[in-house]
Structure 1
Amino acid sequence: MLTTNYDSLLERFQEAQHRQAYTWKESDLALNDLKSGRHVLLKVHGTAERHDTVVMTESEYRDVRSNPSYRAVLGHLLQGYTFLFLGYGMNDPLDLDLVLKWNAEAFKSAARRHYALLKDPSDSDRDRYEREYNVRVIAYSDHAQLPAILEELQRTAACQP
């Protein structure tokens, strides 16, 4: 699991309680756990409980991007797992969007496809996310549709080999 949120809401869910939480500052530990088959929660913008991990300014984003362990763990995740972005607007030009773009450019047609649930995206945004980030948009028009969409995605994923 990967989140850009600073709060501890995800850690309260039963599924996430079985995951070790790390911030970008512990990316090397997160990568070791992932390679050992353990589940993690990576808080890429830090956590409110530790102010030294919070990423908000352009210089803080630059510091995070220059961290080799952070880049390694995100590369490992984006090439090894298929992501479904929920509640992420695909408009973080200083961080995840850059990483998605680097991944798509580095691996070209071999880059793993990811997905994003977005409310009422424009056709040009949908095309750009697919072309630049290798992220296919699953559009919806009303938040009330989300439970049914997630259930359908779960059924579809269960049928995949």
Structure 2
Amino acid sequence: MGIKPCCFLALDMLRVESSLLFFPDDNSEVYSFENEPAGDTLWELGLDFTVSKDKTEFRGAAEHFRLQGKERFKIFGVLLEGDSAAAAGDTLWADGKEVGVITCAMYSPLTKKSMAIARFDVAYAEQGAPLEVKGSLSTSAIAHSLPFDDPEKKKRTVKD
């Protein structure tokens, strides 16, 4: 019948390739700030597209728009060298300093690439920025825009 069993890893593959964030795995509930309470903005999570730029009359609108451009971090992708997946909590380094943390990683059998979602210092969330991964493995990597799979949204599951 074409049915294939899968495990929770299949969900991680989908969420990393498609940039689907999980609460609390990708936010400050798990990766807390040193001197601030937990709480992330839509700007930081890359979810600002969920609020219409023309809608300004909703609860929290003033705070939402006040925080634009004041991101403390950015959710961004990481493309790793090799065929091993990093682990959640592995750190990202550039210019001799820690610049991010991986929140979810996987090796894609579809693309034959190791990739991850990470929380980045804003300055390093740039396509192609060179990185080093340290933790469960040590390897080089680059910052990569999200989503990894179908960024132009050209794939369709329904045919007219």
Measured against the shorter chain, the TM-score band is under 0.3
TM-score, with length taken from structure 2: 0.25
Bigger relative contact order (CA 8 A; separation at least 6) = 2
Larger strand percent: 2
| Higher share in helix | 1
Larger Rg: 2
Question: What is the TM-score of this pair, normalised by structure 1?
Answer: 0.25
